[in-house]
Amino acid sequence: MNEKQIQALCWHPKRLIELEGGINFRDLGGYTTKDGRSVKWRKLFRSGAHNLLTQNDAKLLHSLSIETIADFRSLDEQRKAPTNLALFGKKADHLSWNYNLDMNDSTFLEKFKQGGDLTALSKEIMSSFYLKLPTDFAPRYQKVFESILANKVTLFHCSAGKDRTGVMSMLFLSLCDVEEEQIIADYEMTQHVASLKKLHSSGNNSADKNSTAMAMFAKLPADAVNALMGSPIEYIKLAMDQIKTEYGSIKNYARNVLNLTDSDIRTIQDNFLQ
């Protein structure tokens, strides 16, 4: 498949879920596998935070019939940008976890106070984060796969729908035997989704807008900001290569870390491929 065909799949008319307050809300359907099948539409969704969703979004959200919402954000992130679950219609299982995110405002402040090449430092911070995600977030990814195994319409998200969400998307598509070029392209398209501007331009509250961290970010050079907020393909490749180096393949990682059996992987494919 050439680059033009891959981009056509990424920007398929069904891909982006157009919501007034949606942030990077996308369907993972349509991608094609090595054996000629494709991921079913309207079965699995990825997104950023939901705190900007409006009452006008409710009708479309109801129509998606989402049964599981997995929130990868820390409790502090959830507090600052809460989800109104009522907008999703029928009661869905809501998965969330009580943890502190290592890569928070304080971490950034301490590192940037050291000075030096801020763009290189931003890339170093993000690279380190991606190398740890497959291990640190494995228990959360495992829970999402439990929902997928149960054949439930599932939505997983973080704040931007980029990093924690991006690795989960990569794992699912990999287990479905989607071509690697498509997996990488799906990850990379995040930085071109217009709705992410809402996240960058909105503060959770006035205190956050006036925080020392926000003031520091405002002074960063554009390249450093892009390194932190973008989705360059080298980040997802780092996570993929880390898994392959340690476990031999992503399926071996799924078996050894996510406790998925070969039968589970076949069930995932049966449930979500056509």
Highest-confidence segment of 59-73, 95-109, 113-127, 218-232: 59-73
Q: How confident is the model at residue 264 (pLDDT cuts 50, 70, 90)?
A: very high
pLDDT attached to residue 245: 97
CB 91 within 8 A of CB 183: no
pLDDT at residue 105 greater than cutoff 80: no
Domain boundaries, the chain: 3-272
> pTM surpassing 0.85?
yes
pLDDT attached to residue 230: 87
d(CA 175, CA 158): 21
Residue in 46, 42, 83, 66 with CA at minimum distance from that of residue 231: 46
The type of residue at 229 is: M
CB 74 within 8 A of CB 99: yes
d(CA 185, CA 265): 23
Q: Which residue has the higher pLDDT, 218 or 78?
A: 78
* Per-residue tokens: 165: 């969400």
pLDDT in tens, 171-193: 999 999 999 999 999 999 999 99
d(CA 254, CA 261): 8
The type of residue at 131 is: L
The average pLDDT across 152-179 equals 97
d(CA 122, CA 125): 5
Phi, psi at residue 271, to the nearest 5°? -75, -35
Q: What is the CATH number of domain 3-272?
A: 3.90.190.10
